Structure 1
Amino acid sequence: MAVKGAVHQEPAYVLHRRPYRETSLLVDLFTLGAGRISVMARGGNAPRSPLKAQLQPFQPLLLDWQGRGDLKTLTQTEVRPGPALRHTDSLYSGLYVNELLQRILPPGDPHPELFAAYIETVNALADTEDVEPVLRRFEGNLAEAMGLGFDWLLTTDTGQEVEAGSFYGYDPEQGIVSSAATGIRLTGLPGAVLAELARGNLDSRECRRVAKRVMRTLTDHLLQGRPLNSRSLFSHGRGDHHES
């Protein structure tokens, strides 16, 4: 007989886990069909539990759970082949991405396109030491999922395309705006750089600097004051210039 609220073979990734009660784990997941959810893994923190090794960040999983409340109960775990984040910057970047999702995504709200982008991001981080373009692309995907996507080439207040010799601003609720716009969060963005970013060019130091400023403003807006612990990893490690 089918169990009410039961889900089977759901693609998922662990965003965060922590001890729960005596021997269990409380696990925050990003799933394909259910979005961000929390599950209890009974006995998962017991000394000989296989769940300790299975419920790891960046590990592709197929999960079964049941329950109709906010906290589900994990009933089955299947580990799928996946990449390994061996480089320090890649690992720190992955933790940053996970924490963004954990802090920003509303619970129980599926985002299949963002889930696909997350898989691409994990694979890309495992395959490169130059993590900055990977992070900027994911932040852009997150902005789209949260309804804050924007066009680097178009000013929303005037409807005009940016010009190479002019400077512009950015506001999370408006996107790129003219320098005459009032009450904007970020100013002094060169039009020539915005045009390069519209083409996906993150090769130059200036393009990376502007993209990071914009995406930092965007993620801070989405976080609404909630801290990101992963940022301290960058400030104390090799990746201080990468994080958003």
Structure 2
Amino acid sequence: MARVARPPAVQQAFVLHQYNWSETSLVLDLFTREQGRIAVVAKGAKRPYSQLRAVLLPFQRIQVTLSKPGKTADGGSAEVLTLRGAEWAGGMTMPVGAALFSGYYLNELLLKLLVRQDAHPQLFDAYADTLPQLHAKEDAASQAALRAFELRLLLEMGLLPDLSLSTITQAPVDEARFYMLSAEAGVLPHTGEAAAFSGASLIQLQAALLHGSSAALQYACAASLPPLRSALRGLLHYHLGQKPLRTRQVMVDVQKLID
């Protein structure tokens, strides 16, 4: 039997969320490139003199050193690891304004859609590429970056159909016709009041997804922002089920206050 490769002790990571574990320690949800979403205990991180306090911040790329997983009573590996050290690995400053809300929105998507210990290196890279594209004042570039990440996330989860094919018939979409994106049935000929995509735009989006470049995907999304926002909101709501996104509601409430 082939031996399963052990994850490296030192990994690149982002902090998605943190919980109080004791008066002095935290439990962190980390998003790592090698292991995906993992839970770690940061002992002593809440102490005033702890060097970890200034490092374990959201949206900052960090390099973490983790303990080897212990054993559970039945001989399996313990799910929660121990954080032995963490260092800032460079990157952007803390986002502000709309960028801060958007960043927390991305984190909440990852927390609710990713299972633990399931690596998605391309999604990790997309997350790292997206954060600098989120601006303090929401603009078209920020929206394109958000839609591109949502598409990449759905693709990585196996929840996005091939956008270049009509899902039911598996026939190539016609560049000159219009289509809609259904959570239950995939790409369909457009009917009713659903958001409409041209066949050409769907082909462009699928090509950008296959290319793998965040910049290429953001460029493709920029040409279809209104229908993408509506369609992807429907897909995410469908697959989240009974796990509503609190960040989106906070963003809506804040915008109402501003208006």
In which range does the TM-score fall when normalised by the shorter chain?
0.7 to 0.9
1:73-126 deviations in Å (ceiling 9; x for gaps): 101111111102433111111110011001110100000111111110112226
Indicate the residue corresponding to 2:113 in structure 1. 104
Distance in 2 (alpha carbons) for counterparts of 1:233 and 1:28: 21
The answer to whether the Cα contact below 8 Å between 2:66 and 2:83 also exists between their aligned partners in 1 is yes
Kindly state the Cα deviation for residue 129 of structure 1 after the two structures are TM-superposed. Answer: 4.4
Q: 1:78 aligns with which of 87, 90, 102?
A: 87
Task: Give TM-score scaled by structure 2 length.
Answer: 0.78
Matched, 1:132 2:143: yes
Matched, 1:161 2:173: yes
- 5 Å matches for 1:225-244? 225-238=242-255
Kindly state the Cα deviation for residue 25 of structure 1 after the two structures are TM-superposed. Answer: 0.6
Kindly state the Cα deviation for residue 45 of structure 1 after the two structures are TM-superposed. Answer: 1.4
1:40-91 deviations in Å (ceiling 9; x for gaps): 1001112332222210011111111122311111011111111024331111
Q: 2:200 aligns with which of 190, 195, 198?
A: 195
Distance in 2 (alpha carbons) for counterparts of 1:121 and 1:48: 33
Summarize the Cα distance change of 1:215–1:90 in structure 2 as closer, same or farther, 3 Å threshold.
same
Q: 1:145 aligns with which of 133, 144, 156?
A: 156
Kindly state the Cα deviation for residue 225 of structure 1 after the two structures are TM-superposed. Answer: 1.6
Distance in 2 (alpha carbons) for counterparts of 1:135 and 1:197: 17
Distance in 1 (alpha carbons) for counterparts of 2:220 and 2:61: 30
Distance in 1 (alpha carbons) for counterparts of 2:135 and 2:63: 21
* Identity of matched residues, %: 33
Task: Tell me the SS of whatever aligns to 1:188.
Answer: coil
Task: Tell me the SS of whatever aligns to 2:9.
Answer: strand
Matched, 1:177 2:182: no
Consecutive unaligned residues in structure 2, runs of 5 or more: 1-5, 71-77, 205-218
More strand by share: 1
1:176-213 deviations in Å (ceiling 9; x for gaps): 12358xxxxx9633343x53354354556xx3221011
Kindly state the Cα deviation for residue 227 of structure 1 after the two structures are TM-superposed. Answer: 2.1
Task: Tell me the SS of whatever aligns to 1:17.
Answer: strand
Task: Tell me the SS of whatever aligns to 2:195.
Answer: strand
> What is the aligned length?
227
The answer to whether the Cα contact below 8 Å between 2:148 and 2:221 also exists between their aligned partners in 1 is no
The answer to whether the Cα contact below 8 Å between 2:97 and 2:136 also exists between their aligned partners in 1 is no
1:43 maps to a residue whose letter is G
Kindly state the Cα deviation for residue 16 of structure 1 after the two structures are TM-superposed. Answer: 0.5
